[in-house]
Amino acid sequence: MSFDVVTSSRLGRNSATIWGQVTRSGFYAGISGFFLGIVGILSMFDQRQIIVGIVTLGYATLAALPFAAGALVAAGGPPKTSWLALLGGSVAGTVATAAVALLPIATLLLPDIRQIFVVLDQPFLRMLTFKQTDPWLGIIYLLALGALMGGIGALLALLPARLRRPVVAGLIGAGIPGLFQDIFRPILANSNVSAPLANLLYTYTGLSSRGAVILFGVSALAVWLWDVNRAGVDAKLQQLNPGTLRNGRRALIGFGLAIAAVFPLYAGNFIGQVLMSVGLFMLMGMGLNLEIGLAGLLDLGFVAFYAVGAYATALLTADSPYALVHWTYWEAMPVAVLCSITVGVIFGVPVLKVRGDYLAVATMGLGEIVRVIVLSDAAAPLLAGAKGILQIPRPAIAGYELNTPVSLFYLTLVAALIAAYIAYRLENSRLGRAWMAIRDDEDVAQALGINLIKVKLLAYGLGAAFAGLAGSIFAVMLTSIYPQSFQLIISINILALIIVGGMGSLPGVVLGSIVLIGLPEALREFGEFRYLFYGLAIVAVMRLKPEGLWPSAARSRERQLDAEAAALQTAGAATGAVTGGVRS
């Protein structure tokens, strides 16, 4: 009798918990779908094929929302019976699609609503009702799709990991090439070696059903084989000595770098242009990382050094009446870097005693001074004002002109590798430790004998050198420069990539540049909505990894120590409260 009572009480608690999870998951997924529909994103997605003639991005989104709701129901909360989780997933999926179904229902009951929400046009409503003659029947189909996908999502979450992982890998392996087919297909078709693979997987309009099946099977099989053999591989790796493991990691990294270096040759000029932009921001990120990541000097006028490098290169090389001389790029580039260093030191002098938020405002003002000077009529006879400087020649090596995005990318890559080596050596030098000391506490650093003036000016000057080098390459990339190319938003973007990648981390700068500069280009096909998804991705990254995607070892230790101190403080407060209660 007591066993029945305990069992029934546990089932009651599990049932109450799972239905609360059903409500939350279905509500959040439904609100997301309703928003995507009311602003026109679902309508735009329906025009984008993932698998030609079978699935559009619009229908994939409609299926993904209840699928995610069902998976969350089965995966979240306390242990529960399978039938209850499947039922809850189906209900959550139905709730999710019911919110989307409000759009066609409102249009059928209130036809005048289209005058307010113009996105609710006939093609979009036909999409939501599966092109049925009777729209109410299409709405029923929509709810049935939600129940089915919610149940499938819950079922997938309940499967053992050895079965779930290959299925998820197969869906990702087929979905990403279909979603970004405008990137993958030209890359594959650009080479005679990979062109047959492009013809096997893609048609002229997108990923074929045959290609989707192949990609699903290959991805699922690869993950299944890895899971089966993972224990054996780990055991063999543990038997190797540390030196062999270290050499193996280095060889693997070198192989990856070699593949990345050769990749633009096959990817084409568009990918080369994107990678070059990533490389330029990577260069500037390494420079700003010296200032803010190591020395703690927040600089929002960093774009000024970028502009100085570009204008110095233009004035020394351009075939223009504004040019001072007509040097080659290789002669002008060191002078441009030296000019940026000089301006960096000059900018550092007025803000030596400024700290915190005031430093950010002061450096932003100094950066704007450069832009205003370039645009002014007083400097127009020298800097060309708003007209800019044209006809900047491209660099040449042994008679070969670097006149394509791919060739200029390799120039940027070499510059970035040299800059990364210098930044790495600086970080582990005596000067780098001095920067980190003044970042932690200027007063203590000064008491220890660190010359704050010299150390700060070196941070500004060396950081400006990286930006000047990037600006020099930027000038020859465009073969013309204008003041409008050097806005405050560039400084903000550089600061953002350092924060997203990981403050004070060189690998973090690289990863942050790829995410913040490369991701918007990958989302370009989503038109005016690409920055919406870009913003959501950045918010998700900072929510899940607040310390950055690749934080430095020092930052990770600091965060761990802060978490341990907070836990001890909480435990101490709880112990004190219990002791006080007992005494009272």
pLDDT digits (tens, 9 = 90+) for 27-56: 999 999 999 999 888 888 888 888 988 899
Please state, in angstroms and rounded to a whole number, the distance separating the CA atoms of residues 225 and 7.
41
Q: What is the pLDDT of residue 11?
A: 42
Q: Is the dihedral of CA 180, 507, 550, 460 positive or negative?
A: negative
Q: What is the pLDDT of residue 3?
A: 36
pLDDT bracket for residue 425 (50, 70, 90): very high
Q: What is the pLDDT of residue 90?
A: 93
Q: What is the pLDDT of residue 2?
A: 40
Domain ranges of the chain: 1-158, 162-229, 268-487
**Poorest-confidence range of 398-402, 499-503, 528-532?**
528-532
Q: What is the pLDDT of residue 80?
A: 53
State whether residue 407 is helix, strand or coil: helix
pLDDT digits (tens, 9 = 90+) for 477-489: 999 999 888 988 8
At 434, the amino acid letter reads A
Length of the chain as a residue count? 584
Residue found under tokens 């970080």: 427
**Poorest-confidence range of 13-17, 67-71, 370-374, 500-504?**
13-17
pLDDT bracket for residue 92 (50, 70, 90): very high
Tokens at 569, concatenated: 């403080």
Span 194-223, average pLDDT: 90
State whether residue 56 is helix, strand or coil: strand
Check pLDDT > 90 for residue 81.
Answer: no
pLDDT bracket for residue 570 (50, 70, 90): confident
Span 551-565, average pLDDT: 72
| Range of 173-177, 202-206, 229-233, 559-563 with top mean pLDDT | 173-177
More confident residue, 420 or 522: 420
State whether residue 429 is helix, strand or coil: coil
Span 411-433, average pLDDT: 92
Q: What is the pLDDT of residue 10?
A: 44
Q: What is the pLDDT of residue 62?
A: 92
Span 189-217, average pLDDT: 88
Please state, in angstroms and rounded to a whole number, the distance separating the CA atoms of residues 492 and 446.
30
What percent of the chain clears pLDDT 70, i.e. is strictly above it?
Answer: 92
By the 8 A CB rule, do 469 and 333 touch? yes
Please state, in angstroms and rounded to a whole number, the distance separating the CA atoms of residues 294 and 300.
16
Q: What is the pLDDT of residue 567?
A: 72
Span 375-380, average pLDDT: 86
Q: What letter would DSSP give residue 118? A: T
**Strands of 177-258, DSSP E:** none
Check pLDDT > 60 for residue 16.
Answer: no
More confident residue, 232 or 578: 232
Check pLDDT > 80 for residue 12.
Answer: no
More confident residue, 229 or 12: 229
Q: What letter would DSSP give residue 291? A: I
Q: What is the pLDDT of residue 378?
A: 85
Please state, in angstroms and rounded to a whole number, the distance separating the CA atoms of residues 187 and 184.
5
Strand partners, 396: 401
pLDDT bracket for residue 7 (50, 70, 90): very low
More confident residue, 464 or 440: 464
Span 57-79, average pLDDT: 85
Span 133-156, average pLDDT: 93
- Long-range contacts, 191-197 (Cβ 8 Å, 24+): 191/266, 194/266
Q: What is the pLDDT of residue 5?
A: 40
pLDDT bracket for residue 343 (50, 70, 90): very high
Q: What is the pLDDT of residue 365?
A: 87
Please state, in angstroms and rounded to a whole number, the distance separating the CA atoms of residues 266 and 479.
25
Q: What is the pLDDT of residue 551?
A: 84
Check pLDDT > 60 for residue 15.
Answer: no
The pLDDT mean for the chain works out to 86
Q: What is the pLDDT of residue 379?
A: 86
Q: What is the pLDDT of residue 455?
A: 93
What percent of the chain clears pLDDT 90, i.e. is strictly above it?
Answer: 39
Tokens at 159, concatenated: 């499967």
Closest Cα to residue 395, out of 323, 483, 313, 279? Answer: 313
In sequence order, the 6+-apart residues with CB closer than 8 A to the CB of 294 are 426, 427, 432, 435, 436, 439, 459, 504
Check pLDDT > 90 for residue 191.
Answer: no
Q: What is the pLDDT of residue 17?
A: 67
Closest Cα to residue 146, out of 186, 102, 199, 91? Answer: 91
